Amino acid sequence: MASTLLELTASIVSSHASVSEMSSEELLAELQKVHAALQKLEAPAEAESESKAPAISLKKAFQPDQVSCMICGKTGMKTLARHLAQVHDMKPGAYRKQFGIPSSQALTAKNFSEARRKMAQDRGLADNLAKARAVRAAKIKAKAATEEKAAKPAKAAAKAAPKAATKKKTAKISAKAKKP
């Protein structure tokens, strides 16, 4: 594969050199720059092909007390979202798609999720959320009602303006007609 990369580099640089004059130093610099750019483009494709195989099985990755990363095999985590974002620059949806993880499978340890759910229930967070949503809905309705009230006089004024202008024009025309 390295020979094809070198051949491609030589072809690109020779095409560039045929169009513009280059010194030998510029030619060498261009060769290095193009070769480095092509290597960078080739590296992600190789990384993706290597990362397709999971480092750990799906069953072993999701344990009740911990979750493991199927890309690098790191274990002992309670949740995968932060690890995926920071280490692998990946979103949970892409991770699920890559390894065929069903959407019903949480990317957190089961015991961790249950403990957080219980804590939220104990603190009454669901009730607080319902109250906050009701207050927000009431504010939205009140705002819509005040905007509607403000719009009615503006609509009435808009309808009256053409009538008033027509009356003024009629008065001017009749005044001109009366003049001898």
Contact 90, 100 (CB under 8 A): no
- Give the global pTM: 0.45
pLDDT in tens, 67-89: 999 988 899 999 999 999 998 88
- Spans of all domains in the chain: 2-51, 58-108
Q: What is the model's pLDDT at position 56? A: 84
CA distance 177 to 174: 5
pLDDT in tens, 134-162: 999 999 999 988 888 877 766 666 666 56
Per-residue pLDDT averaged across 16-43, rounded? 85
Crossing angle of the two packed helices 24-51 and 2-19, in degrees rounded to 10: 140
CATH class of 58-108: mainly alpha
Per-residue pLDDT averaged across 83-101, rounded? 91
Three-state SS for 88? coil
